[in-house]
Chain A
Amino acid sequence: MTREMLITTLRHHLGSRYVLHRREELMLYEYDGSAMDQAMPDVVVVPGSTAEVAAAVATATRLGFPIIARGAGTGLAGSTVAERGGMVISLARLNQILQIDPQAATAVVQPGVVNTDLSRAAAAYGLHFAPDPSSQRSCTIGGNAGSNAGGPHCLKYGVTSNHVLAITLVLSDGQVVRVGSAVSDTPGYDLLAAVVGSEGTLGIITELTVRLTRNAEDVRTFLAIFDDMEVAGACVSAIIADGIIPAALEMIEGEGIAAIESWAHAGYPPDARAVLLIEIDGLREDIADEARRIARVCTASGCRELRTASDAAQRERLWAGRKGALAACARIAPHYHILDGTVPRSRLPEILRRSAEIAAHYDLKVVNIFHAGDGNIHPLLLFDLRVPGTRERAMAAGAEILRSCVEVGGTISGEHGIGIEKRAFMPWIYSVEDQSAFADLRNVFDPAGVMNPGKLLPSPTSHSSLHATEPLLRMTGRGAWI
C-alpha cells in the first residue's frame, strides 16, 4: 500500500516515464560492480533536475523508504545495493558538463557525467580531471565523489576529495543546500570533507564544482620487470625513499602477468614474477632527472629489465594491460573476491608475502594488481565456486588478509569504500567512541535515518545479517575494474 503511494506520488513529481517499478525494470538495479551483492529496490527514479531529486527524496523520507543514490553502478563494496529495498535514485540523466573555466581550472558538472568525458572535454584547454579509477570510462563524477574514488594517478595528484570544491546537496528532508565553495577558505565547518566519501549516507549530490589539473609538459612510462615479488615491493619503497613521487606506480604480480599478457598483449613478459608500471610527469628537465634516478634505483633493487615507453602508443599499450587486468583474470578461475587494503609502503613486501601465505592456507589462488606507490593493495582471490566450501574459504581468507593490513598499521579500504562489504570490519580500526562520532555526524545530516541506511557503519542489525545477505564473491570478467 505504501509502496503504491510512493510510486503514485513519484509519478506525479517526475512523470511516469522516469519512475521504474516493474520487476524486469528493477532487476537492472539489483547489482553494483560487485555483481553478486544483490537486492531488489522498491522503485527506481531517474530525475532530470535538482528539484526533481528533492521532490523524490522528500516523498521517500515522508513515507519511510530508504534512499540510495546510484551513478553508473561500478562500485565494489555494495554501497548502491538496496539491501533494505527502498528508492534508488539513478543520476544518469543529470549528465551535463555545465561549465569549464580554463582560467580558474575548474568545471561545474552534473553528477551523472562520466569521468573520462570530463577529461575529454577539458583536453581542449590542456586540462584533465585527475581522479582516474580504472572504471573511468563508465563511472560518474557523482559516484567518484560519493565514494571518494582513487585511481593510479592519485599517488601524485590525490584522491577525489582533493579535487571537489563545492557541491549541491539534497538533504533527507528535501532541502537543497550548497556545501563548500570554489572560493578559498570560506568561513564555516568544512562539511564538504565529510560528504565526499560518505557513500550517499549524508545526502544526494546533484551538482559539483571540481578542480581540473593542468596536463603535464612531459610524461614518461616505464615497465620494470622482476623475478621476485618481494624485490619488486622493496623497489617501490626505494623509489619513494629516493624522493621521487611518480604520477603512478602500479604493480602486477604472479599469474596475473601471464593472464593479462595473453589477453591484452601489453608486452609483459609472461615468465616475470612481478612488474611495476611507473609513470612520471612534470617539466621536461625534472623528468629527465627522475628517469635517470628511476633507472638507477630499479637496477640497484634487482630489477631484471627496465623498458621505457617511447611514445604515446606504447604508453597506452602498457596501461591497457593494467586497466583491463580484472577481466583478464577470468582466464585463471571463474570467480573472484577482490580486496582493497592499504598498508604503509615500507610494509608492502611483508603484506604481499602474508597474503600469499593466507591464500595458500585456504587453497585459493591470489593475484595482486594494485596501486603500489600508495601502499593500496588489491589481492584478487580466484577460485571456482562450484567446488563445495569455496565461498566460506574465500571469505575467511579475505577477512584474514584485511586483518593483516590493519596489523601492520594499515586500513581496510583504500578506495573501494566500506558499503555492505566491510562494515563488520570497522571495529578493527575504529573504537566504539570513534564510531559514535561518525554516527553523530550522520544523524545531523539525516535525522530520519533514510539515506542509504545500514551502509558504511556497523550496526547490530547489519552485523547479524552479514553472512545471510552478503555473498562477497563475484564472477570474474563481468566488466568490473580495479
Chain B
Amino acid sequence: MTPFLLYNQQPTQIVAPTSAEAVADVLRDASAQGLAVIPWGGGTRQGMGGPPLRYDLALDMRGLAAVLAYTPDDLVLRVGAGATLGHIQDLLAAHNQWLPWNPPLPDQATIGGLLASGATGSLRMGYGTPRDWTLAMQVALGDGRLVKSGAPVVKNVAGYDTHKLHIGALGTLGVITEVTFKVAPRPAHCQTLLAAFSSPLTILEAMQQIGQPPFQPISLVLLNHSASKANPILHSFLDDTSPHLIMAVRFAGTAGAVGRQIRTAVAVCVEQGAHTIELSETDDGSIWHAIADDLRPTDQLLIRVGAPLSHVREMLRLVESIPYQRGWPTDRYLIAGAGLAYLRWPVVALPDLLQALTELRAGLAGIGGYAVVEDLPVALANTDSPLDLWGPPPETLALMRSLRKVWDPAEILNPGRYLV
C-alpha cells in the first residue's frame, strides 16, 4: 500500500521532520507557497474528516517521538507528539503508572494524532478525557509560529489554555509537536464483569444502578449482539445465538473495594434478569484492549452519536430503530457515563445512507444530541453528493473561523476536512 495515500490522493511531497523547529519551518514554507499539508501520525484516524480539498504535502510526525522528561515522583510526562500511546504506556507501566486513556490501536496511534482527532475511550467514565490530563503543549501554528501554552506542573493559570483548543481540532489550527501530561498511579486491582441481557430495558436499568453510588466503575460499555460477536474476546462469551445485549463493567482499587462492587453488581445483574454472568481473571486488560479496538477503522461507516445523559434512552431508541427499519445489520456501542454511542453502518447506496443520517440527526436534534462521522470508508468518499460528516455547525462558528484565520491564514492545514 502506498504510504500517506488518503482517499486515493497522493501527496507530491513527504516530509519527516525530527524537531519541532523543523515542523514549524515546513509549515512556514508551505504557508508561503500555499501548499496543503496533511499531518500524519500512525494514520489510524485519517478516516475522520474525509478527503482533503487539496493535498500537496504529507507531514510525517513520527520522527518526534522522544520522551523529553519523565519524573515518576512528580507524575508528569513530557513527550514528543509522534510517540505512540502504546510506547508511553509501556514506559509508565514500568513505574506502576499510566495515562488513563484507552483509544483504539494504541501501538500504532501517536499521541499527537489521537489528541488532534479527539480520541477517547471507555476509561473516561472513571478518569475523564485527555483534556483533563493535558497540562501543556507545544504547537507549530499554520503560519509557522512555534508556540507553547500551559506549564509542566499540575496547576497553572498563567495565560490562556490554548493547548486545549488543539484537542479535537483535527490539526486545523496547528500541528502538535510536544505534549505534557499529568499521569496517574495504576490501580492495585482491576476486575471486569460481563453480563448478557435479553431485554434492552433491563440492561439499561442495570446500567443505571451500577452507575450510581456505591459503585464507582472506571468503565461501563454496552454492546449489542452483533458488536459482541465481532469482538475477538467476547465472541465466545455466549454460544447462544438469540439476540442479546452485553454489559462490560470494570472496577478498580483495592481488592476489598473491587470485590464488594463486583458482588453487588452481580446481584444487580441477577435481579435485572441477566442470563449469563462472567467475571474476568485478575488481569482484565486484554478484554478492554479488544473493546477499545472494536472502534478501529474498518470498511464500514463509523458514526459517533452524543446526547445529554438525561436522554440516553431516547438516543438508544433512535440509533436502534433507524437501521432496523432499513434491515441493516449494525454494531452498536454505548460508552456509559459519557452519553456517547458508536454505530457501524454497512456501505449501502449513498442516497440511503444520506437519508438515514439526516433522519438520525433530526431525531437527535430533538433531544439536544448530535451525530458525526468518526470514520468514512474510502468507498463512500469522492462522490458528487458527499455525506455531511460533521452536521450542523455550532453557533460559535464565526469565532472558530476567525481563530483559524489568524493561526492558519493560508488555510494549508487539512483543507476541507473539518467543520471550521
Write the residues of chain A forming the contact surface with B, with a CB cutoff of 8 angstroms: 101, 103-104, 106, 126, 147-148, 150, 154-155, 158-159, 161-162, 177-179, 182-191, 193-194, 196-198, 214, 217, 237, 240-241, 243-245, 282-286, 288-289, 342-346, 371, 374-376, 409-418, 422, 426, 429-431, 433-434, 436-438, 440-445, 456
Contact = CB atoms under 8 A, between A and B. Distances in A.
A431 B145 CA distance: 11
B213 A214 contact: yes
Contacts of A147: 157
What 6 pairs between A and B have smallest CB-CB spacing?
A285-B256, A193-B164, A243-B185, A104-B309, A411-B151, A285-B257
A187 B73 contact: no
A422 B396 contact: no
A42 B204 CA distance: 57
B160 A197 contact: yes
Contacts of A430: 148-149, 158-159
B304 interface: yes
Interface in B212-265: 213-214, 216, 253-257, 260-261
Contacts, number: 238
Interface string B140-164: 0100011111011111111111101
Contacts of A417: 157
A197 B163 CA distance: 13
A183 B307 contact: yes
B205 interface: no
B73 A413 contact: no
B157 A185 contact: no
Nearest to A375: B153
B369 interface: yes
A411 B159 CA distance: 11
B391 interface: yes
Given A154-B155, A243-B186, A437-B147, 13 more contacts: A101-B309, A183-B307, A189-B403, A190-B165, A190-B168, A214-B213, A282-B257, A285-B254, A285-B256, A374-B153, A414-B156, A437-B407, A456-B159
B64 interface: no
B116 to A, nearest CB: 12
A415 B157 CA distance: 6
Interface of B: 71-76, 96, 118, 120, 128-129, 131-132, 141, 145-149, 151-162, 164-165, 167-169, 173, 184-186, 188, 213-214, 216, 253-257, 260-261, 304, 306-310, 338-340, 368-370, 372, 390-391, 393-397, 399-400, 402-403, 406-407, 419-420
Contacts of B169: 189-190
B396 A179 contact: yes
Nearest to B252: A286
Contact of B253 (A178, A197, A283, A440): A283
B251 to A, nearest CB: 9
B142 to A, nearest CB: 11
Contact of B368 (A183, A196, A412): A183
A418 B157 contact: yes
A191 B159 CA distance: 14
A346 B75 CA distance: 10
B338 A194 contact: no
B120 A187 contact: no
B74 A344 contact: yes
B399 A184 contact: no
Contacts of B74: 240, 344-346, 375
B304 to A, nearest CB: 7
19 contacts: A188-B400, A285-B254, A285-B256, A342-B154, A344-B153, A371-B155, A374-B153, A374-B155, A375-B153, A375-B154, A414-B156, A416-B157, A430-B149, A433-B147, A434-B148, A436-B145, A437-B162, A437-B407, A444-B402
Contacts of A415: 155, 157
Contacts of A413: 156-158
Contacts of B147: 431, 433-434, 436-437
A441 B146 contact: no
Contacts of A179: 396
A422 B73 CA distance: 29
A288 B256 CA distance: 10
B156 A240 contact: no
Q: In the complex, which of the residues A196, A284, A286, A456 has the most CB atoms of chain B within 10 Å of its own CB atom?
A: A286
A341 to B, nearest CB: 9
B153 A409 contact: yes
A445 B396 CA distance: 11
Given A185-B168, A426-B159, A104 B396 contact: no
B132 A158 contact: yes
Given A185-B306, A187-B372, A197-B161, A409 B152 contact: yes
B396 A191 contact: yes
A431 B159 CA distance: 12
A154 B151 CA distance: 17
A190 B167 CA distance: 7
A289 B129 CA distance: 27
Contacts of B400: 188-189, 191
Given A183-B339, A286-B254, A375-B154, A434 B420 contact: no
Given A241-B73, A411-B153, A189 B160 contact: no
B155 A343 contact: no
A305 B368 CA distance: 55
Contacts of A161: 161
Contacts of A184: 306, 338-340
